[in-house]
Amino acid sequence: MSGGGYELPGKARVGLLANQASVSSSLDHTAGIIFRSGAELTCLFGPQHGPSGITQANMIEWKGYTDPHFGIPVYSLYGETRSPLPEMLAGLDIVVVDLQDIGARPYTYIWTALLMMRACAAAGLDMVVLDRPNPIGGTVVEGPVLREGYESFVGLWPLPMRHGLTIGEILLAINSSEPEPCALEIVRMDGWKRDMLFADTGLPWVMPSPNIPTPDTALVYPGMVLLEGTNISEGRGTTRPFELTGAPWIDPMELTFALESAGVPGTSFRPAVFRPTFDKFAGDDCGGVQIYIADREAFRPVLCAIAVIRAVSDLCPEDFKWLDPPYEYETEILPIDIIYGGPGLREGIDSGVAYEEIASGWLGPLAASLESRDAWLLYD
């Protein structure tokens, strides 16, 4: 999966946007590789969760500091600012971006990279993106396309929930439509094919964020992230986040029966009781289910999550709730609407619409989105 042929200019002053997952196939961190290359590693930038991936999600900010190994500033792009300030970029020649996305629109690393790209364009800087695999593959695309008016830090461009692109392809597409394009170079991977899941790459999995411990977590995330807009636990505070879901007021047997009866494709459910150590219902016993992917080709995470929300809403109408803002720096629009990319899910659930019918609402915009994406695909 190594990129081919790119070398940093000899005495370039380089800023690096990266985190703990920014490693080579031999687990060498990109910061060290740049440092040993002869280029001058001048500063580091970190996304949500920080450069070491230790802070939890949803507006738990971190502050910049001086790196103890390199003795250079580390700037937070998840705190007082999400976009690098001009003084952070001053004196740089190139910004290198090396972030592991997980294939879902609400995952914020895409948008941190986009804001960096726009800042580089304004500053007249080159930006180099070290592309990485989409760990959940590049063939299946699913879910609603972000609607105009619902832009936020979990969606700044009209992508589907499961977008099927690499971070390089996304930035290439957005840059082509920018009023002030960036001098952007994508260092392509060698050997990655669109039908690969992460297990097919042979690469070591480094958690890109604290609640994505395994590639299987990444597979369920594009749907189960929707639970962040509800009062149902998405399993944070357990060892199987996004695979476990529930609440103290849910009967696990009833929910399992409802979901099995719903015929959710490619999925099996096990009744489960879990006790989160933090986040929603910390310290309380939650009844719910664990999600098992029975058929990776048939499994559709967004459809699965909608089925879960539909079943919980039907079984527990007095307890189920949509959460109020704020969420990821949005203070007015409901969290569920900015995660989903519009009000369709909330309106459908509140109106009693079947989960399959709610999903049918995204098919037209999704088809239109697919028609325009071929120009930006870098891999077969």
pLDDT of residue 276: 98
* Structure tokens, 377: 């695909």
Q: Kindly report the backbone phi and psi dihedral angles of residue 92, in degrees, each rounded to the nearest multiple of 5, phi listed first.
A: -85, 155
Domain ranges for the chain: 13-207+372-376, 215-361
pLDDT of residue 268: 97
Domain at 215-361: CATH architecture: Alpha-Beta Complex (3.90)
The CATH number fitting domain 13-207+372-376, selected from 3.20.20.70, 1.25.40.10, 3.40.30.10, 3.40.50.12170? 3.40.50.12170
For residue 143, give the amino acid letter. Answer: G
Beta 126-130 vs 94-98: how paired, if at all?
parallel
Domains 13-207+372-376 and 215-361 share a fold: no
Q: How many CA atoms lie within 13 A of 149 on its CB side?
A: 5
pLDDT of residue 7: 82
Beta 160-162 vs 183-187: how paired, if at all?
unpaired
Using alpha carbons, select from 137, 166, 291 the residue that is nearest to residue 220.
291
**Spans in the chain with pLDDT lower than 50:** 1
What is d(CA 367, CA 238) in angstroms, rounded to the nearest whole number?
A: 37
Give 149's DSSP letter.
T
Q: Which residues contact 259 (CB under 8 A, 6 or more apart)?
A: 267, 269, 289, 307, 308, 311
Which DSSP string do the residues of 243-297 spell out, in sequence order? TEEEETT--HHHHHHHHHHHT-TTEEEEEEEE--SSSTTTTS-EEEEEEEES-TT
For residue 136, give the amino acid letter. Answer: I
Instruction: Assign 126 to helix, strand or coil.
Output: strand
Is residue 244 a contact partner of residue 290, using CB atoms and an 8 Å limit? yes
Beta 13-18 vs 40-46: how paired, if at all?
parallel
pLDDT of residue 10: 76
**Omega into 68 within 30° of 0, i.e. cis?**
no
Using alpha carbons, select from 143, 60, 81 the residue that is nearest to residue 106.
143
Give 227's DSSP letter.
G
What is d(CA 153, CA 108) in angstroms, rounded to the nearest whole number?
A: 7
What is d(CA 88, CA 366) in angstroms, rounded to the nearest whole number?
A: 38
What is d(CA 194, CA 340) in angstroms, rounded to the nearest whole number?
A: 25
Query: In which residue are the tokens 């749907």 written?
Result: 223
